[in-house]
């Protein structure tokens, strides 16, 4: 699944996050990109085992993973490049629609379903869905298989300090309204992702996560 050289490249990139270094290691970068493309195709090929909507969607492998270069508006700190990659299995666009993902980062790999970096319009739809059907979300989060696979429930990469303007505080979905994008995740050891057979485990992770994807459809 993930090639050892890909982990090595990402670790080296994290330690040498400069354009000059990246330019000197284009071959390793291109090998990593080919690896990500292959992973995206594998996730799509197995999608009929966890989500027929994704399986029936047309895949664009080279658009199914995040890019290294960071847009200045999204940049955290001074790093020019991301040293981690999300590979997606989506029926739509990763910034517009909920979908499945594999996060590849040395020492911090995980998989699940999410819309972590929604567009402004997608975030508005997500929040409206939460307010319109809090019981539907509760049904997902309390499902035994979902709880067993994702004991941390819903997580986010960015949270607000208060419920956003336009929403009344005090409701059951307040914690999730504060999330600027959200999802579920299950941590995975790097060594496990080196084995091609890990796809069977990913399917077992994505299957309960499909409840969250369907809720936000």
Structure tokens at 104: 């590849």
Structure tokens at 93: 């666009």
Average pLDDT over residues 153-180: 95
pTM: 0.93
pLDDT digits (tens, 9 = 90+) for 92-151: 888 999 999 999 999 999 999 999 999 999 999 999 999 999 999 999 999 999 999 999
Domain boundaries, the chain: 4-216
Beta bridge pairs of residue 8: none
pLDDT digits (tens, 9 = 90+) for 77-87: 667 898 999 99
Residue 107, CA atoms < 13 Å, CB-side half-sphere: 5
Quote the Cα angle for 170-161-177, to 5°: 50
Instruction: Provide, rounded to the nearest whole percent, the portion of the chain with pLDDT above 90.
Output: 87
pLDDT digits (tens, 9 = 90+) for 23-56: 999 999 999 999 999 999 999 999 999 999 999 9
Beta bridge pairs of residue 112: 101, 185
Residue 40, CA atoms < 13 Å, CB-side half-sphere: 24
């Amino acid at each position: 699944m993930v090639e050892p050289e890909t982990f090595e490249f990402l670790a080296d990139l994290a330690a040498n996050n400069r354009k000059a270094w990246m330019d000197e290691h284009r071959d390793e970068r291109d090998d990593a990109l080919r690896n990500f493309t292959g992973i995206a195709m594998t996730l799509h090929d197995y999608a009929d085992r966890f989500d027929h909507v994704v399986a029936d969607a047309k895949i664009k492998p080279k658009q199914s993973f995040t890019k290294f270069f960071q847009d200045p508006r999204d940049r955290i700190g001074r790093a020019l490049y991301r040293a981690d990659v999300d590979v997606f299995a989506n029926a739509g666009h990763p910034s517009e629609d909920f979908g499945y993902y594999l996060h590849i980062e040395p020492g911090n790999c995980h998989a699940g379903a999410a819309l972590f970096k929604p567009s402004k319009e997608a975030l508005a739809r997500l929040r409206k869905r939460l307010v319109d059907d809090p019981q539907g979300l509760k049904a997902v989060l309390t499902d035994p298989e979902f709880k067993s696979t994702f004991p941390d429930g819903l997580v986010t990469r960015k949270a607000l300090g208060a419920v956003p303007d336009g929403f009344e505080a005090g409701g059951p979905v307040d914690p999730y309204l504060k999330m600027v994008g959200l999802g579920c995740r299950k941590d995975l050891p790097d060594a496990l992702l080196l084995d091609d057979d890990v796809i069977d485990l990913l399917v077992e992770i994505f299957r309960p996560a499909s409840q969250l994807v369907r809720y936000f459809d």
